[in-house]
Amino acid sequence: MFITLEGPEGSGKTSQLAPLAHYLCEVGFEVLVTREPGGTTVGDQIREILMNLDNDSIIPRTEILLFLAARAQHVELLIKPALKAGKIVLCDRYGDSTLAYQGFGHQSDIDTLRFLLDYATAGLKPDLTLLLDVPVQVGMARKRANNAEWNRLDAYAEAFHKRVRQGYLDLANNEPERWVIIDAAKPIDHIQEAMRKAILHRLKH
Ligand code: TYD
């Protein structure tokens, strides 16, 4: 089963990953935890380019193609082999991040993005996507309070992040059979519990 975690800035998804993976291992699954952009040697190098605050000359089409290039490597070298070996793949961000950030956030054409995404991933879609939804103000405040790494993509205006959040909600509401929306403004334990429940429920059906 291929599970992706999505959410706007400060949704806390990254800190939920390790305990979630630990739990799934405890109940008997083999799990691969990975993230985007990154996950492979080439993907990590592309991540460096994308996150570097000095690279402010990157134009939107370049940004899209870099995310997709990293994803193509990730799918072939890591995700597909793990799925083939019967593992649960837990991936921190995937194609929906491109739709939410580049599509809704930067307002690049969604149909073109979907076409390119399909090409980059050779059509591999998640079986389940957990959306950790949090209001923009709460997420940004959390990120600042945690002194989290502040990257090139975080530095965009609040209006951008509002479009990203709304974009995620639209994607989730349009494909409810794949998505589960989790209220990430709740306490950490509560969120973890909701994530576990959603996964176990999907594994049984
Ligand atoms: P990261 O430091 O991994 O942040 P987070 O903990 O929020 O996942 O940075 C990833 C950034 O890249 C984040 O701002 C979202 C952005 N992103 C895109 O814009 N498009 C994409 O396709 C992906 C995978 C990420």
- The per-residue DSSP string of 175-193 comes to -TTTEEEEETTS-HHHHHH
63 lines ligand 1 (CB under 6 A): no
Check if 52 has its Cβ closer than 6 Å to any atom of ligand 1: no
Q: How far is the CA of 143 from the centre of ligand 1 (A)?
A: 13
- Mutational pocket test of ligand 1: of 5, 153, 163, the residue with most ligand atoms within 8 Å of the beta carbon: 153
> Which pLDDT tens digit goes with each residue over 109-145?
999 999 999 999 999 999 999 999 999 999 988 887 8
Annotation: CATH topology of 2-203: Rossmann fold (3.40.50)
Please determine, for residue 184, whether its predicted confidence score (pLDDT) is greater than 70. Answer: yes
Amino acid in the structure at residue 142: R
**Strand ranges in 67-117 using DSSP code E only, listed in sequence order:** 88-92
153 lines ligand 1 (CB under 6 A): yes
107 pLDDT tier (thresholds 50, 70, 90): very high
Give the pLDDT confidence of 46-100 residue by residue, as tens digits. Answer: 999 999 989 999 999 999 999 999 999 999 999 999 999 999 999 999 999 999 9
Compute the distance from residue 204 Cα to the ligand 1 centre, in Å: 30
| Nearest protein Cα to ligand 1, atom 17 | 97
Q: How many helices (H) and strands (E) does the chain have?
A: 9, 5
Note the helical H segments in 109-157. Answer: 110-121, 136-145
Which pLDDT value is given to residue 85?
Answer: 98
Helices 158-174 and 136-145: angle between axes, nearest 10 degrees: 120
* Rounded distance between C-alpha atoms, residue 191 and residue 194, angstroms: 5
| pLDDT category of residue 150 using cuts at 50, 70 and 90 | low
CA of 156 to the centre of ligand 1 (A): 12
For the Cβ of 6 lying below 6 angstroms from any atom of ligand 1, the answer is no
Identify any residues that bridge with 88 across adjacent strands, giving them in sequence order.
Answer: 31
Q: Which residue type is seen at 180?
A: V
